[in-house]
Structure 1
Amino acid sequence: MTDNQNPAPFTELVNLAARSLGAGVVAANDELFAERENLIVAKPAEFRPHTFGHKGQIMDGWETRRRRGASVDETHPTDEDHDWAIVRLGAAGVIRGVIVDTAHFTGNYPESASIEAVSVPGSPSPEELAAAEWTEIVPRTALKGDTAHEFEVSAPQRFTHVRLNIFPDGGVARLRVHGEVVVDPRALAGLTFDLAAQEFGGVATGASDRYFSSPHNLNSLGRAAVMGEGWETRRRRNKDNDWVELDLVDEGEVLGVEIDTTHFVGNCPGWASVSGKDAATGEWVELLPRTRLQPDTRHQVRVEPRTAVTAARLDVFPDGGVARLRLTGRLTEAGRAAHALRWFNLVPAAEAEQALAHAGLTTGEAQALTAARPLTTTEAVRAAESALQPADTPDGAENSRRRAAIWRLLGV
């Protein structure tokens, strides 16, 4: 836990619980004083003193009623009594850190909190989530009032939902869940899409300047509603230029570039170029040459896929702001396989077995291949596949069936 003066490195990762990514608070056992949906509001919590409603001071957060004991002889709640709220992550992924922010809750913050996570595919109901097997990712820890508590998480698994438990009751202003997006490969197979998009796993890894706003806004979902939802640098006073680098979802071919300067009028860059990191050599290659930009405009350009790339770099000349960068393209076969194997290694065993069976393996084959995880290379998958029983038929039909099923899911 920190006092938030020096944010932990995980705060540079995507907030998987952002409503802009599609997150939602799907259930809570109580929200009498303040609504559960406030937990994932994007802006920092506010406090307006002496603003009372029918249930008391209006708080910008999630706040439950005061718990009581079971009887006149037991007036206090037990040590295990607690309230909870379940958040559906906007993008499933590996959680690297969590922030539990009790901003403005002073005499009404919880004594302690814990966080659990689970992976349930599809759109499960609150009842289905309650019945699932949850994993504790942050053990029960004491909280302070009016504090952003940062918790690093070490749980090498892909999760779809988190559950915040507060003991015994009280209020939490905001919940942030930072991590790495890991998309189900079946959702992207055969499609062209934005290879840099946050919702699919693209992430800004570096920037020359972030004085006015974050480079993480560049690949956010949707269009920027105001200038502050883009990336903007300070005014440059030397002859250099500003830049942002982003890791793509995985190795892919870029077919189109969009540089959106919406809302940037007097502070639009004069020119911009886009480069990609060659998947084979690691060298930067030109995708879009230096191009004139216009204020408040979506610039859309088709480009020839010269090479497979794993990262991108936007250079703006000399400085200014860009609302969004989109890199439309498709994963290469190697990129699809790498992405699918990462997903396969991170989902729970039951989920991996179900996906393999749906692709065409028998139950026994699916269980055996899942038990062989982690499988990080094509060669490892082939070795595990060749060990599956029963032995192949004389015409090779069993091998063909198994390999077709594995290809459908993992692309190897």
Structure 2
Amino acid sequence: MTDDGGGGLGDSDPLALPDLASRALRGSVIAASDEFFAEKENLILPGAPTFTPQTFGHKGQVYDGWETRRRRGPSGALPGADEHDWVIVRLGAAGVVYAVLVDTAYFTGNYPQSCSVEGARADGYGDVASAAEWVPLVPRSPLTGDAQHVFQVASELLCTHVRLRIYPDGGVARLRVHGTVVPSPSLLEGLTFDLAALENGGDVIACSDRFYSSPRNVLSPGLSRVMGEGWETRRRREPGNEWLVVRLTGQSEVALAEIDTSGYIGNPPGAASLLGIDAAVSSLDDSSAWFPLLPRTPLLPDTPHRFRLPGSRPVTHVRLDVFPDGGVARLRLHGSLTSHGLAGVRRRWAETAGS
């Protein structure tokens, strides 16, 4: 498998891993000690923070982030409260965290002095704040204003939630929690599901071009609302075509593919094809080991295309080729895990969940 300049999305850079907290992955902010000046939900918005000077609401300057009031009790704390503020985020998918990014963009005179991050695994939908056992992910570390702070995480703990503590108060624009999804085998065994979906442990590991938007977008939950929420390449001016490679949840049998060009009206690919490989028996770099799942097939603009795939040959990775270039909103690969694939999912869950 070669890369025509796009590079892989691999694990060497933890910031290249999916943001498990992102609202785009259906993460949510479930609790906070205070959000007087700016709402806690802003923390996990997928876009970059913005700022318009001299924009005032009834509580002061409007910030795109989470901002707490100034503490005024003993040691700077609000009466009856802890001596710092905190916020709890439910991750969009359970996983292992490898890096946390705390962004204080545009907070220049009102940022926290320091922060720490903890993780927890909580089964079900109970009261996480009081019931969860919290484990340190990032020790208390200094922060500066209007800057991105990246913290490496060494823990292999499976997390469903993270808690950001700020000392003593202030504003944080964005919280990014980068890691790998670890799906629960109990929710996958015996079922047909989207094997490529980020929330099920799929991911894009390589692509030829990401000029306009990330190829990982095609695996996101829900529908693409605008072109920027899919994967769109630049206009190709040389021979060849654009492509991406998806690592599935595990070894699987794929029965149905959906290639969705919704929203791409003047810029969809003219055609697409799918190849598969079983990396349990062949190297991804062995071009002869890739076999066809879907032959080169014309695509229409602004259309969800569904294709029944023949055969039941096991695959661990699928390559989408688009001819010659263009935009794809979503790629869905429906099927089920093989016994070997399910065993791998169970093993990964046990390694990280401690069960």
TM-score, with normalisation over the residues of structure 2? 0.91
Match of 2:67 among 63, 66, 80: 63
302-311 vs 202-211, which moves further: 302-311
> Partner of 1:281 in structure 2?
282
> Partner of 1:47 in structure 2?
51
Aligned residues of 1:247 and 1:312 also touching (Cα < 8 A):
yes
- Tell me if 1:265 matches 2:265: yes
> Partner of 2:302 in structure 1?
296
Deviation at 1:75, TM superposition (A): 6.5
CA distance in 2, matches of 1:239, 1:129: 56
Structure 2's unaligned 5+ residue stretches are 1-11, 284-288
CA distance in 2, matches of 1:146, 1:134: 29
Deviation at 1:307, TM superposition (A): 1.2
Aligned residues of 2:112 and 2:171 also touching (Cα < 8 A):
yes
For residues 86-105 of structure 1, the aligned pairs below 5 Å read: 86-105=88-107
> Partner of 1:334 in structure 2?
340
Please state whether the residue corresponding to 2:236 is helix, strand or coil. Answer: coil
CA distance in 1, matches of 2:238, 2:331: 25
Please state whether the residue corresponding to 1:346 is helix, strand or coil. Answer: helix
Deviation at 1:265, TM superposition (A): 1.6
* Structure showing the higher helix proportion among its residues: 1
Letter in 1 for 2:50: E
Deviations along 1:168-212, one digit per CA (max 9) or x if unpaired, are: 110001111111111111111111011100110101111100001
CA distance in 2, matches of 1:342, 1:305: 28
CA distance in 2, matches of 1:84, 1:254: 43
Deviation at 1:230, TM superposition (A): 0.7
CA distance in 1, matches of 2:205, 2:269: 21
For residues 371-390 of structure 1, the aligned pairs below 5 Å read: none
Aligned residues of 1:82 and 1:169 also touching (Cα < 8 A):
yes
Q: CA RMSD, aligned part only?
A: 1.5
Call closer, same or farther: CA 1:169–1:277 in 2, change over 3 Å. same
TM-score, with normalisation over the residues of structure 1? 0.79
Letter in 2 for 1:97: A
Deviation at 1:48, TM superposition (A): 1.5
Match of 2:352 among 317, 321, 346: 346
Percent identity for Structure 1 against Structure 2: 55
> Partner of 2:149 in structure 1?
149
Aligned pairs, number: 335
Deviations along 1:37-71, one digit per CA (max 9) or x if unpaired, are: 1111121111111121221111111101111242x
CA distance in 1, matches of 2:327, 2:294: 18
Match of 1:38 among 36, 42, 52: 42
CA distance in 1, matches of 2:108, 2:65: 13
CA distance in 2, matches of 1:97, 1:331: 29
Deviations along 1:144-184, one digit per CA (max 9) or x if unpaired, are: 11111111211112111000000111000111111111111
CA distance in 2, matches of 1:218, 1:275: 17
For residues 127-142 of structure 1, the aligned pairs below 5 Å read: 128-142=128-142
> Partner of 1:184 in structure 2?
184
Letter in 2 for 1:36: K
Deviation at 1:130, TM superposition (A): 2.6
CA distance in 2, matches of 1:53, 1:317: 50
Deviation at 1:305, TM superposition (A): 3.0
Higher relative contact order structure (alpha carbons within 8 Å, sequence separation ≥ 6)? 2
Structure whose CA Rg is larger? 1
Aligned residues of 1:243 and 1:313 also touching (Cα < 8 A):
yes
> Partner of 1:19 in structure 2?
23
CA distance in 2, matches of 1:31, 1:333: 48
> Partner of 1:376 in structure 2?
none
Deviations along 1:63-120, one digit per CA (max 9) or x if unpaired, are: 01111242xxx6689xx82110000111000011111111110000000111000111
110-119 vs 48-57, which moves further: 48-57
CA distance in 2, matches of 1:38, 1:115: 18
* Structure showing the higher strand proportion among its residues: 2
> Partner of 1:395 in structure 2?
none
Call closer, same or farther: CA 1:141–1:51 in 2, change over 3 Å. same
Aligned residues of 1:120 and 1:129 also touching (Cα < 8 A):
no
Aligned residues of 2:96 and 2:181 also touching (Cα < 8 A):
yes
Letter in 2 for 1:58: V
